[in-house]
Structure 1
Amino acid sequence: MSSEPLGLVAGEGLFPLLVARGARAAGRRVVCVGLWGFASAQLAGDCDDFRWAGVLRLGKWVRTLRRGGCREAIIVGRVAKSLMHDRWRWLRYIPDLRGLRAALRVVRDTRPNTVLLTLAEEMAAAGITLIDSTAYCPDHLAHEGVMTRRRPTQAQLADVETGWAICQQISRLDIGQAIAVKDREVIAVEALEGTDAMIERAGRLCRGGGWTLIKVSNSRHDMRLDVPTVGESTIRNAKKAGAACIALEAGRTILLDKARVLELADQLGIAVVGRAGTPAA
């Protein structure tokens, strides 16, 4: 891998921390743009240079990274999808010129994949190439097979088998990346609200518990952009809502501190399995 400085554009959650720590351990200086309202202030301690910027201040992103000598960058961390549907978004997140240009390109298509690909193109035009967001934390990727000591039941494996192709289909249609299944019946589908809200809804709809959460990547998935993640909060929320099994796409889903996530799942009695992805029809 390169020894040049690595740019990092960071949203919410632990994923940016894993990337920063992994890149520095590999000998790269990390220049980070933390997105106001989303990134953790803790991240500054894991980067060599840290600057705050607005989520639509793309020009500032570019200037910060270029001043830091970056020709490669990673964009990771959650930014609420509902932002694109906020009626006051132009006032809350005033764009700079480069950000406005990018925003105008997606005004008719605000699907996450379109927005992220546009960001990648704008960054490339400025001389900064986005790279695989898991390049510096491969040990945290889900692997194929049962990952916890607790094993899924035959009924849960049947739910995974039933729901897998359905989940890939809704992902291909850009609806969401997760569903809840019980007794081979879909009880909840993720949409704009995100996985945690869907988990809560599944718990209300399936009071008896024992359901399975399935989470996949988009069938047009680009490892530079929008890698699905599961963290300790996901496991705790799933337990509270009555989930008994979680199935993830192997090699394409990040466990946010894998060892801790799997240990917590075992403690709470949730089986976690990885399954190889297959193209949706």
Structure 2
Amino acid sequence: MGRDFNVLNVYGFNDKHDRCTLLEDLQSHMLGRDPLVDREPVCPVRGLAIGEPTTVWRNVAHPALLNRHRDLSWMVAHEILPVRAVMHSRGMARISPCPRPGCGQEESVRHMLWECRAARDLWKEAGPLITSCLSAGEDLTPQLVLYGVGRRPIPSKTFTKLWSTLTCLKEALWSSRNLLVVKNIETTPQAVAMVGTEERGPRPQAKGPPQHPRSRRPRPDSAAAPRAMRLGEGSPLGPEGRNDDPFRRAG
């Protein structure tokens, strides 16, 4: 229970009463992350066929994911990521429209990660990286992005690379959304993709003579992604982050 409180705090449930209320409402779903999940009835996932939810919960706990990525995938699968529509339905937000400028659609989990213009721009920007992980004849679909469920079986090694890439990009997209809501800072699709790809693997070593640690400053074309977009590392819900490029203030 303590770990669940910490997770909810990171993702925006800062009030103790709100966290208690949400956890009570979702008590029956909490078993979805239990190692004994196969002995319990599988929680359904909206929009998926019979049998596919088992794959979803297996993907949520995929060994290639970091713990925070598993938490994010779990909230996405349960549709409880604290976007405005989710918070509004629980009386925790006054409005439900998407905060992206010019959007105005209800901000559901699916909208934030797939339907919104910001999401579409990200998947277009990251297209070459994702396409290299897709099997022949496989397209990028909302089921694949949100839950890791493709139209046809994907080889294990290929799926591990693909699912890790998609999850890192989703985390970066969620962080960029939080920067907009909390600090009124917009991020470009290139910046979001850069953060997501950096989280996916080890950072490449910079060429040239070594620099003093205090003289290193992130640039738009550098391999060092802005730390302010990382959940738990200078995120808008954590310690104060620095507003370096490629961020720009929303007009």
TM over 0.5: no
More strand by share: 1
The structure whose RCO (Cα within 8 Å, separation 6+) is larger is 1
TM (norm. structure 1) is 0.28
More helix by share: 2
